[in-house]
Structure 1
Amino acid sequence: MRLSTRLSIIVFSLGLTITVLNLYAVRHEVLQQQTHTHRIFAETLVRTMASVVADGVITGDKEQLTQMLQVAQNYKNNSIEYLYVIDREGHLFAHSYDTDFPEFLNKQIAKYPSALNGSRPINLVAQYNIENRGLIYEYAVALTPSLSGQMHLGLNQTKIQVAVNTASKKTLFFGMVLSMLFTLLAWLATRYVVRPIEQISTTLQNYQPGGSIDFSFKQSDALDIQTLKYSLKEAFNSRDYYENLLKQREQDLEVTLSSIGDAVITTDEQGHVTRMNHVAETLTGWSIEEAQGQTVKTIFPIINASTKEPIPNPVEKVLETGETVYLSNHTTLISKEGDEYQIADSAAAIRDVNNNILGMVLVFNDVTEQYELRQAALQAQQQVEKAFNDMQTMVAVLDTDFRVTFINNTPLESLSLKTEDVIGKEFWMNDWFTYDSALQKAIQSDCIEAFNGRKTLRDIEIMTNNGVLALQIGFHPIRDENNSVIQLVAEGVDVSVRKHLETEMRASMQHLQLYREQTPLAAIEWSIDFEVVNWNKAAELMFGYTLKEVEGRNFSDMILPESAVIDVDKIWQGLMTNTGGKNSRNENVTKEGKIILCEWYNNPLINESGQVIGAVLLVRDITHEHASQQALMKSEQEQRDILDTLRDGIITLSETGVIQSFNRAAEHLFGVSSVEAIGQNISILVREKDEGQPEGYSQANAMCLLAGSREAVGVYKKTPHSLCALPLQSCQFQLMDNTDLPVHAKT
């Protein structure tokens, strides 16, 4: 259909629509005006008659009121159909009918309210469609405000409908005439306007691709037509330019596909080959001329490298779903000549700008060498896994989602699990850890830490068939050549023995701590900087300082008098170099300022590498002991002085005959000094045996002193052959527990 004809139909339809709408508008307006006129007429008539009718109702004069209503109805051919009055009780009082009052009106009277809407002067209360009379509108008005009576007026609407229909017909006629006239004018105007466009259309239909477009026909003066011609010419010139550009790109694509190292095959939306590069021709054994139009299944048969079973071709899935499909690592391509190639490939949909699938592109390459290397690596991995299975520790390999990809037999046997019970599960969700949610969170945290490149190590307890097992578990990241973490290795070692030893050690340390706290000796721990690290209650009692008062301080300035500092420094240097300073005795000062004499037992603390890391000192307060010793020494000196004044030789012997004291008289008598005699056996003072005398004579001669003899033979040292008989007096002392004291001999 020509454009001019279409425009004419549009104009005609538009004019007809306007005419119909105008018809309905006119009809509605005429009807409204006629109805409004009737309402005004009814209101005027009722109000004119209202006072007379009200008087008739009040006086009860029905006949006079009836005559008046009949006169009003028949006055000058008006449209009044009937009049009637209702009294204050709601009963019919008078009407304009010559005959009986119609039954349909009589039934309606009981339905009317006793009071009308006071906001309106007249109310439309009913509509009737009476045969041979037409449509009747009934209006009602109250007679007076104080009188409840009503006057009803029925007006015939037939004349109004006739007037409305007449006006509608005239309107429709004139509308149709105007529509036809406008349609004709529109057709003529359209023909004038469209002719240049038709000429342009004819020129475009005759256009040959690659040729020039000619708009040399008679030019139109309309600016729009000139603009259209110019735009079309530019559009066709642009199309030619882009067609040439597209051809150039097609050539570039061919060059690119020929130069690319991967094999490339493209298809249309039905999966038929449209293009393939040289690499694809080499691997498939098909040339582009042979393959073009063939299905991908025909030129690209693939099987599983392990099972030799055919693999579903990815073409259908890509063309149906539009998803990118990747083949497995065990895909083998069978070429046209029967050669086998291990390949890696992917297939993706080719889409237009509206995301419609136009075809598919298949990219693959020969990975036979990599496949063989991968198989060798797989065999090596299997060997490693076999070695892991023989280990008595837990070894698991996790992927980057922390799911188990391998685990050795030892942990599986501990809970009677199978490999499939563990593989693919997050490591901490396995049965060894699920008994403790806190343990699961700790394992998860360690996995995340290891994935971030940091090794972890912690002691845990896992659940086994034999109960809880102490385990030291560590996670180690495995990186690729780009230093990216690709796996995690979890290694768990049974540390039950170590834990048992640690428990025993803690118990031993607790015993040691109790001993340190309960020992009467002061125990002080020092750092290498000569600062107090710890000390016990005995030290607090001995020196008067609490641990808080001395902890971290150099204690020497608190408990050592100035005279002892130099000696203590030497002792400390010996401890730090592990060359001396084991024991010492020096004076100390308590918190109250009291001087005490202490004996220090000093030992350096040495770590595993042999380095001194501190010292432990045990301190004994020997103040009272030292005073007792001094008193004893003084008493012994006084005793020696008394013995030296005696004329008799006095010798003190132990129970074994060892000389313990030797006074000056004894020195003179035997010619032996006290220094030479003390500590020697008494036998040095008696004569040696002669020839012929039995063995042990000298010893027997000496022991006679211990036996209580009255006489013995002595030897003078300076003249060994001078013998003398010695009268003896001896005594032996015993303690209350019958222990013998040394023998005192007097010569």
Structure 2
Amino acid sequence: MRTSEQIKAEIKEQFGFVPPFFEPATETPEVLENLWQQTMTAYINNPLPALFKEKLFAYLSRYCSVPYCIICHSCALRPLGMTGKQVLTLLQEPPPNMPGELKVKPLVSSTQIEPLTDWPAANSALEISLYRYGILIYLKPAIAQQYRNEWLRILGSFYYNHLIAFIAYVKTCHQWGECHPELVYEADQRVQLHLAALLQQAPALGDFFANYNEKVKREYQKQEAELQQSNSILQAVIEGTTDAIFLKDSQGRYLMVNSTKARLLGKSVEEIIGKDDTQLLSPGEADQVIETDRRVIATGISEIVEEVLTINEADKTLAMRTYLVTKDVCRDRVGNTIGLIGIARDITPRKRLEKERSHLLEVQQQLIGRLQQQTIDLVALSAVGTTAISTLNLQQLLDVLLQCILQVVGADAAMILLKEDNQLRVSAGIGIQKPIPIGFLVPMEQGFAGTIAATRQPLYIEDAQTDSRVINQALKQMGIRSMLGVPLQHNNELVGVLHVDWFSIHPFSSREVYLLEIAAERSCMAILNAQLFEQTKQLQQRQKLQIDTMPIGYMVCDRFFHLTDWNPAASNIFGFTKEEVLGKHPQDLIVPPAAKVQIEEIFQRLSQGDMTAPSVNENITKDGRTIICEWYTTPLKNPDGTIIGFQGMVKDITSRKIAEAELQQAHQRLKFHVENTPLALIEWDSQFRIKIWSQQAERIFGWKAEEVIGKSWQEWRYVYEED
């Protein structure tokens, strides 16, 4: 490892002086080396335009309490062409609002397929938008994912990664400065060379530097006050209306209700939040509400519907009231549907008059009769609903469902056929003494089950022994007489066919058709879940196979960084078997002492939710060898954003790094020979601007390299007109 003096010598060679920023790390060469390498990678050698970097650095330094960064990088803007007044205007600009001023909208047309190959022109509308997005990503990282996504879409991974690395470096500098408030900006040569000139051009700049912390604080307070006032007005409107107002998520759970809605349901607001309508309303009312909710969310089209609900009156009695409900989708900032918002108005008096005029008493009696019958039917079907969630094993589920359906309908036998490609496969049967073998295929559109599948309609056959639609002789040989079947379908997609059978003539019953359809509906989702479960198991097995055979090391840690998975490629790289590492911390196995500080910083970033934590660092193997590895690590999160662990991929790049070092040495030797050749060496780019001007060229022509680099031959008298 290099000494601090060696590192400082390199820093001085780069800048011409050692910025005070590095002085606190002088006593710890490891830290100094880390800071310097970050500076080289993310700042000095970062291909972003210098003016863009310095403007963003200076502006973001408003949010660092130590003035070193804001003053030094403001001074760095002067040699890049900015005057004191321009610097002051830049720093005084208020931050973009979130989300008011900068609602996420595409920086360029969303039809753009390929990322930009060149950085946008200086001060163009696109570059200004990228600059303002950078401020938002720095200030609001937790809610700025959409801005990062837009960056990546427009710029591609090359400029995107350099931009994110630069912002991360700015944060590092601010944290370093705030931990070392003794940093003296007056000792920085950028300040010594340019601050006086900037203050002469804009005297108010000095006052800004002295009071910028207070200004930023006032900006925050103003934004908070405006947001609080806006929320207060909105809340007053919501609570002041006699209409019931509510907001649900996409799963139907209440996110917000006003006091009117709470009184309607006879509960407090706190008791309602987080629950769905099945927990607050009767089953029939909940189904009515949920159906329209799902339709509005699915289509994205608002609807005005009438809903009849049982509510709690002021005297604690229950009453049926009719509400005219306006429902519309609720969208996030980028237009994605995230839930449903509704406003309900009590129109019971108006509906009561309508009912009286149309002699609704008779209709109500009929409705009560139907509701009573439905209640009886729902009780009979409760066993089917309970069975539907009892197991995820498909075959066990089908067998238990058929037993329950036989009890509900009172049939002698039952069978389920599931769709497979363009055929029906017998998947389960019960009550048949000589059952059709499981797996027997029935052609679509043929026979009893095929006809049901083709028409998607229930089918009743009074006598299977004489009906020509029964073409399967095995069914007749079993003695089956009457048959009733219904399609199994979900969202208009055929899943299969369910039919029940009797060994004697059984009359048609619309109630049995209804019960069988309800049973089929409840069974269908359970069947799909079981099929999905089996497919998921297969996918998990396939995923494990892919991880175990991938050529790149892969590992998973829990949220405390204890290893929970380790693939064979990782064993090949580090020498440890999976059994040797499970439950252990990577710091105790593969991290050398010199790299533990750097690795701990990466772990801290990951714990704070940083989704991009690539790194290249030294590791040690089981047999004590030091290798260089390239890491890509990311946190694993629950849907609510809670970090539950971390996953990382690693590649041993030791050989590549050795080759790069050898190439660098060869480059240095070539550079030495170029600089020491007795011939002048000059190189132009395609625009005839000087790129290389050797020391011998300086001696022959008299101009120093810094006087001509970047200039074309027309900008200086390299060739006289007479020549």
Same-fold call, TM cutoff 0.5 = no
**Larger fraction in strand:** 1
TM-score (norm 2): 0.31
Question: Which structure has the larger Rg over C-alpha atoms?
Answer: 1
TM-score (norm 1): 0.30
**Larger fraction in helix:** 2
